Amino acid sequence: MNAAARANSGWYAPVPIGHPATALLSAKAVRKRCAAVMAAVESGRSSFFEWRAEALPGAALYVADTIRHDYPNLEVPYHSRWRHFEAGGVDRWQALRAMSHAADEREIARIAIDLVVPSVLLDAGAGPDWHFRDEANAQVHVRSEGLAVASIELFAAGLLSDAPGRPLRSDAAALSRLTADRLATAFQESEDNPLVGLEGRAGLLRRLGEVISGTPAVFGEPARLGNLVDYLFAHADRGEIDAEFILATLLKALGPVWPGRISLQGISLGDCWHHPALEDELLPFHKLTQWLTYSLLEPLDAAGLKVRGLDALTGLPEYRNGGLLLDLGVIRPRSAEFWTTPWRVDSPPIVEWRALTVIGLDRIANAVRAELGVDEAQFPLPKVLQGGTWSAGRRIAAQRRAGGVPPLTIISDGTVF
């Protein structure tokens, strides 16, 4: 699409009504297509994995015990980036909110989204050798928590803002200029402190700036990430909005951000890969975009916008949730070489493992709720993930391997894992 057509549509890459990509840009497609992969594995048609249903009750008990230990009253917050901002028991968001001097709840939500969108995009695995030193709080953090703390400091320093005197914002102009060297400095990256996928992360944020600049329908002019708040309020129904609508908006608005992925008739499919169990072989996951959707729940709620239909979203197929199912023997590789091979993101075993993880999380969520004596309304999937499968995945990894590394090795470019 040429620049004039883009400008007229208000979208960098508009998805026309009835376009075949639309059906794939949804959590419904993720769940349905992953179920087809699960069916193939359960019928013995996989050369990579076995699904061991008999191990599921033990895994559910392990997750339930983790929830009871960490949240004895079962008051579990949503699984989101905001939990990582609280690393080490420090409420960094409240300190940042006070620094903003913003009184209007809608503007506070804009600032929160200005912060959380780049932070989520920077959340691909950091690697085992990187750490971030939080000097202000005399703490050192690694992995997701380290990336979160580093990203909030990057944001607070005004490096994502092009507005003089207004550092707490993320706009297209500043994002488009972000270099790998600047990101390396902000994230304390060095030869002795290597961060996996540094160039990919910086490139992703530059691309983000370009894409939101070309999507004024959602991000306004001049483009700012926080303007997403106003777009969602404008499409709400009496103060409520569906989680699927938020996800679909993000997939269509931010889909062009992802590099070198599968496209369908000119539309990028994002976190979507090939698997032979599907007739067209297209298997979407939308992991980071769903993670971002989960991370919008709290700022939107604080601004007065209720998000409904949370269980329409899926669990996140990444190395903590999926690692849990591997470590507890619910998913069993057919070959011992699986454990020692460095896998690419698009490797068929990794694509299949992620599909099994999505359906496995649905099944384990039901078993965990039964164990805890709660229902789906009381304990939606974002709470199961937080309480939960992600925490239990980290816990079992720490018990089994030095440094708590995942049970498998994935070669990351900083944009998926």
Q: For residue 375, what pLDDT is reported?
A: 95
Chunked in runs of 10, what are the mean pLDDT values of the chain (417 residues)?
A: 61 93 96 98 97 98 98 95 94 90 91 97 86 96 94 96 94 97 96 92 94 97 97 96 96 86 90 96 95 95 95 95 98 97 96 98 98 95 95 96 93 72
Query: Cα–chain-centroid distance for residue 91?
Result: 21
- How is residue 78 annotated by DSSP? P
Tokens of 188: 């304390």
Write down the domain spans for the chain: 20-78+273-289+310-417, 80-234
Q: For residue 248, what pLDDT is reported?
A: 95
Strands, E assignment, 87-209: 131-134, 139-142
Question: Could you report the per-residue pLDDT of 327-348, keeping only the tens digit for each?
Answer: 999 999 999 999 999 999 999 9
Q: Are 1 and 215 in contact (CB under 8 A)?
A: no
Interatomic CA distance for residues 2 and 402, integer angstroms: 52
- Cα angle: 135, vertex 141, 147; to 5 degrees: 100
Count of positions (residues) in the chain = 417
Q: For residue 220, what pLDDT is reported?
A: 97
Q: Are 1 and 14 in contact (CB under 8 A)?
A: yes
Q: For residue 8, what pLDDT is reported?
A: 63
Q: For residue 325, what pLDDT is reported?
A: 98
Q: For residue 258, what pLDDT is reported?
A: 80
